[in-house]
Every structure is written in C-alpha cells, then in structure tokens.
Amino acid sequence: MSDLNIRKSGQAGRITFNRPKALNALTHQMALDLHAALNEWRDYPQVALVIIDAEGEKAFCAGGDVAAVYHAGLRGDHQAGRDFFRDEYRMNAAIADYPKPIVAFMQGFVMGGGVGVAGHAGHRIVGDTTQISMPEAGIGLIPDVGGTWLLGRASGRIGEYLALTCGRIAAGDAIHAGFADSYLPEAEWPGLISLLEETGDATRITGIDPPPVSLAARDLSAFGERNVSDIIAALEKNGDEEALKPIRRNSPLSMAAGLAMVRAARGDRRMQESLSREYRFTWRATKHSDFLEGVRAQIIDKDRKPQWSADPSETHVQKLLSPLGENELRWKEKA
C-alpha cells in the first residue's frame, strides 16, 4: 500500500497521507510523489482544486521522516539529507505557488514537515484535535519547510516564541498565528470534502467561530530581546517558567539560528527566499549542528537526553547561514 493515496475524485485531485501508524511522517519519496501529482494536475482541466488530508485520528503529519537522514549522516553521507531537504522544499514552494486552490484538512499533530505541506495551502482547515508546532529546536534543527516564513508573519512576537519553545497551538491559536484559515468540527469534514469534489469550488468552504485564542493574552514581550541569552534573562525576570522549561532543553544553536532566521524572513518578499536560507542551514546540518544528536535522543534511542555540543555563537550561526555557492537551492524548475 502506498504511503500516499493519490487519485482524482469528481473535480478534485485527492492526496491522502497513508502512514497512520507512523503518524503520517513524510518520507523523501512522499515529497517527490506529492510534487509530481501537483505538476500533473497543474494544467489538467478536470481537476479544479486539490484536497490534501490524512488517514488516522492522531496526526495529519507529525513531521519529516528523518531516520534515513540520520543513519546516512552517521556514515558520513551528508548528501542524503541535502537531497531530502532540497526536494521537500521545492514541494513546499509548489504548494505555496499553486495556481489552483489547495485545501488541507489538519487533524491531530501537524508538525514540521506537516506544516510544510498544509501551512502553505490556500485553504487550511483545523478542528478540535489539531495541534500545530514547529519542534525542530528540540532535535537540533531549525524551523524549516517554509516555517520561518510563516513564523515571521505571525503577529507580535509569536514567531520567536514558537520557534524557541516549540510550543503546540490548537485551532484558535493556529488561526490567530496565521497557520490556518478556518475552523470546522472534524465530523463535518467528510461532508465538505464531498461538496468540494462535486463542485470544485473552494468558495464553498465555510467555517464557524474558532475556539478561544490564548496566545493573544500572553505577554511575549521578552521574545523581542536581542538574542536568546537576553530572552532567557527577561523570562527569568518575569518568572515565566512555562516558556523557560522548553528553552532550557532545546539546542542552543538551533534556537540562536532559528531566532535569526525568523527575523530575517520578515524582510523576504517570497517564501522561496526563506526556504533558500533554511536550506543553507539544513545543507550543513548533519555535519555542523546538533541535528544528529537531537535525532538520536528524541527519535532513535528516545532517551530524551540530548548532549548539545554545537557552537551557538553568532559567528557560527552566520557561517551556517552563509551562501552555498553552486549548492544554493535553485528555483529554475517549475515551482
């Protein structure tokens, strides 16, 4: 059985994540297959819109399946990760720039690579089980898959807060932060999908008032400080242990780089600029960051005790974000 169920139904192209036991984690091949389906339907008149959803109640997509990247990196093969991230990011850009409506139904966990799929769709629907996060700092990476673009456009200091704490947000906060558009109880999703298949008309999407927003009431002013150290000092002064707890356990390098990248993304005019900057870090990640140790601790051995050792200095961050020359992420291909 394929990890993606790709088919046409009525006037809709349908893409369904089909790895519920793996929380629909996105593999390299899935990224390629999803991109290929979008390219096939781009000029296909019988497909008026694209619907992306997932099997299982626990997750739309809990992130990228990075186990293969980890094992390759341990062997000294850094190209496997570079190829995966390159192809994933090109797929993310294809979703963002797609000329037809893409509708994403996000239940359960929507993390990392899942945000890279659903978060750039034109119509993003959340329900009562939705939990969205960019948890990369916990595995020694940075918010990628266009995550810095989304975080950079969240109001106030929400972007910095989510990048550093890897916090999970439910439906109301997801809409408030710009990660989703409409709230609809999940029991009503099948009916809406059928309507979209029948009509091919995304304007028929109607949500209802979302659950309360909690982020708006939080004091996130500390996350406007100059760097991670200053943010920690401000949080300590405020006694914000809820924010400090995850920050103390996340990779210092990942937080420093993520903070710089979210702020840099605010000056980007297109998401591709943010993706290219993210690729500079992930191209180097298996060799010069905490990524392998983070994946070991959180995903492979699951001891949850990473031993961070990468240099979190501003100088090292700038090296990791410096241009890649001939290895820069290119956008000549159809997005």
The domains of the chain, with CATH numbers, are 4-327 (3.90.226.10)
Strands annotated E in the chain:
4-9, 12-17, 49-54, 59-61, 102-106, 109-111, 123-126, 131-133, 182-183
pLDDT band at 212 (very low <50, low <70, confident <90, very high): confident
Tell me which DSSP letter residue 145 carries.
T
> Above 50 in pLDDT, residue 102?
yes
Burial of 264 (0-12, 13-18, 19+ CB in 10 A): middle
The pLDDT assigned to 217 comes to 87
For the chain, what is the radius of gyration of the CA atoms? 19
Query: Three-state SS for 7?
Result: strand
pLDDT (0 to 100) of residue 216: 84
Q: Check residue 191 and give its pLDDT.
A: 97
- Mean pLDDT (the chain) is 96
pLDDT (average), residues 278-300: 97
User: Quick one: pLDDT at residue 332?
Assistant: 65
32-40 average pLDDT score = 97
The confidence score (pLDDT) of residue 39 equals 97
Whole-number Å distance between alpha carbons of 166 and 2: 31
Tell me, what's the pLDDT at 210?
87
Q: What is the pTM of this model?
A: 0.96
For the chain, the three-class secondary structure string (H helix, E strand, C coil) is CCCEEEEEECCEEEEEECCHHHCCCECHHHHHHHHHHHHHHCCCCCCCEEEEEECCCCEEECCECCHHHHHHHHCCCCHHHHHHHHHHHHHHHHHHCCCCCEEEEECEEEECHHHHHHCCCCEEEECCCCEEECCHHHHCCCCCCCHHHHHHCCCCCHHHHHHHHCCCECHHHHHHHCCCCEECCHHHHHHHHHHHHHHCCHHHCCCECCCCCCHHHCCCHHHHCCCHHHHHHHHHHHCCHHHHHHHHHCCHHHHHHHHHHHHHHCCCCCHHHHHHHHHHHHHHHHHHCCHHHHHHHHHHCCCCCCCCCCCCCHHHHHHHCCCCHHHCCCCCCCC
Q: What is the pLDDT of residues 157-188, one digit of tens each?
A: 999 999 999 999 999 999 999 999 999 999 99
Which pLDDT value is given to residue 1?
Answer: 60
Cα 148 from Cα 258, distance rounded (Å): 8
Taking CA 36 as the corner, what is the angle to CA 32 and CA 39, rounded to the nearest 5 degrees?
140
